[in-house]
Amino acid sequence: MSRQGRITQFLFPVLSGVLFALAFPSVDAGYLAWIALVPLLVAISDRSPRDAFIFGYLTGLVGFALILSWMRLFGVIPWMLLAAYLGLYVGMFAAMLRWLIGNRSPFWSLLLAPALWTGLEYLRSIGPLAFPWATFGVSQHAFIPVLQVARVTGVYGISALVVLFNVWIASMVMPIASRVKGLAPSRGERGPANRQLVGMAMILALFLVTARSGLLQPPPAETGSLRVATLQPNVPPPLKFDPAVARNNMALLKSLIDQAAQTPTDLIVMPESALPSDLFGERGLLPVVGGWAAAARSTLIATSLENGTSNIAVSIAPSGSAVDRYDKSRLVAFAESGIRPGFRSTPLWTPLGPLGVAICFESIFPEVSRDLVRAGAQAIVVITNDAWSDGTGGPAQHARFAPLRAVETGRWVVQAANSGVSLIVDPSGRIAASLPVQQPGVLVGRIAFERPMTPYVRWGDWFAQLMLAAAAAATMLRRDTLLAEIRRPAFRTAAAVCALPLTGVAALVASGAPWWAWTVLLLGFAAVFAAGRIAPAAPESRRGFRGLPAALAAGSLLVAALWGVVVLAFRANQIPVEITVPREGGFVLQQLLIAAALELWLRGGAFTVLAAWRGVPVAIGVTTLVGMVVQLGLPAEALAWAMVTGIGFGLIRARTGSAIGLIVPHALGNLLIAFLTVVR
């Protein structure tokens, strides 16, 4: 293929990435989501799973890089690393779709693509590294009839519907593309398959017409019985906790509360960490803020970054007394590494009734609001501070989750943002009132407390879990290939080298054994492998010592560069960091031993066997994943660090042949992450 041809073949995946991004703010052209995947699906229709992964990864990388362009405020490298991580999910979608379908009829795409996409979206939303930003279904926040699907399936049902439509359009385009290429239509593009596609299209069209007519749409919500006001002070982030302007910030909040109280108001909501200092304690602001609530004769949701370590929301009764408190429990990795998470997922009690509070990042997780409603919340309050991303699509993207949370839970959603977007959303997803970005003021509206539970609240993520199970069951379409692979000695050796040590570590950790027990286990396994008792030693092991200096230098440089990225990202947002060295004298030795055990296992024996089985890319991916599994239970920062360094160390191992040279860089990275203290 010519150079021009090689460049041209990537245009379709890039186009899909661009269309995917345009479906979300800042452009917010949600209708483009219905065709966003078509170029990618056409591009991979005659490709191998490996090529499909590359094309899908390119789509995801471009799409998420554009959507998350506001992340550049933390630095270019964190922005691109996050986009690169999220792009993996689109790559896996494309590769698995092509592998499962093979030469089968395109009709299978209609069945498998929604299941694969939705299952992977669900996986992206759970676990310590969960980040369900730009979930496909959120792009339909303004399409009220389709939005009602979320009452039963959650946002994932809308994602599946959008992907189904994309596949249908792609199935009609593929025969045309084949003729343009001068190829005869494949077996799956003729006769019965076409009739099946027409039938599926009719079902889809019937659903959309029904939704459009409003039969799936609940009647418009009546005017609520409670008057609510949200405060939008629009204080620049660097000035929020500046003692020099604390008095001015308090005066601004007081003036906004006075403005809200000009008409009798039942509930007043502050945005995230609105108070410039602590609410409780000897010098706490509770007496002052309680006086504001008493003067306004309103229930007040006050917020602060208590002691610099707890992100809290407190309900204050019209009497001026604090009656309940909620601590943010779902924290942002790295950005909130100095915050202590709360452990309560129950509603915030107020004199008006129970309110479900989601603080900033928490509102993008459907299960947070669902669990609160299941526990009795009669309305949802989202408090956030997106001011640090003003001038980008970040605040608007965050605000688009509110209609989904309203429909899923059947509750009114009130969002109070420091600089916007503040809004009030009714249970059918309509925005009843909003306040633009960077406009200080008070948003006033009426809401109602709702008691009925939607099917989604009752049944949870049943649809997404069903799609994930369907995707897993679909691997039986390739059972002959799987069985042939399992019978290969290389596969069995690779599985043993990875699974046996991991199982031993898990058993020791579960039994409460100290860290040195599983470290000794891994070192013993490395010794057995080095003796050639499990598999023949690979040529790389013989040059491992020669590559030691290069691995040591490259690994240390990688760790230093990544640490610099972390520090610069904090400083870019005026968040200083410090290095706090533990007083335990044996801590450094402990980290060296742990690093030796992990590197000699993962980048030593396991890497050698995996590379012999399926090549270096598989060896890098599997050893990185296994290394992350070992870190489960540690903070998200440790898992993210393990993922990035695991890939980097794998590349260095492949180049130098040395696992021993990576021991010191691994220990150095662990020490730096352990010593990290974010000062607020």
Residues involved in catalysis: 272, 328, 360
Structure tokens at 254: 């007081």
User: CA–CA separation, 412 vs 389, rounded Å?
Assistant: 26
Q: What is the 3-state secondary structure (H, E, C) of 443-499?
A: EEEEECCCCCCCHHHHHCCHHHHHHHHHHHHHHHHHHHHHHHHHCCHHHHHHHHHHH
**Residue 629: which residues within 8 A CB-CB, separation 6 or more?**
502
Return the SS3 of 598: helix
Structure tokens at 193: 């398959």
Q: Which of 326, 289, 296, 313 is nearest to 228 (CA)?
A: 296
Q: Which of 402, 453, 463, 477 is nearest to 432 (CA)?
A: 402
Return the SS3 of 114: helix
Distances (CA, A) of 2 to 8, 9, 48, 175, 185: 10, 11, 19, 24, 25
Return the SS3 of 634: strand
Is residue 527 a contact partner of residue 605, using CB atoms and an 8 Å limit?
no
202, exposed or middle or buried, with CB in 10 Å at 0-12, 13-18, 19+?
exposed
Q: Which of 107, 112, 142, 111 is nearest to 52 (CA)?
A: 112
Q: Which of 307, 413, 315 is nearest to 366 (CA)?
A: 413
User: CA–CA separation, 184 vs 174, rounded Å?
Assistant: 11
Where is 218: in which H helix or E strand?
none
**Residue 622: which residues within 8 A CB-CB, separation 6 or more?**
494, 498, 606, 610
> Distance of alpha carbon 129 from its chain centroid, rounded?
6
> What is the distance in angstroms between the CA of the first residue and the CA of the last residue of the chain?
56
Look up residue 605 and give its DSSP letter.
I
Q: What is the 3-state secondary structure (H, E, C) of 235-304?
A: CCHHHCCCHHHHHHHHHHHHHHHHHHCCCCCCEEECCCCCCCCCCCCCCCCHHHHHHHHHHHCCEEEEEE
Q: Where are the alpha helices (DSSP H) in 34-106?
A: 38-43, 49-67, 76-101
Give the helix, strand, coil percentages of the chain, each rounded to 5. Answer: 60, 10, 30
Residue type, 597: A
User: CA–CA separation, 11 vs 173, rounded Å?
Assistant: 16
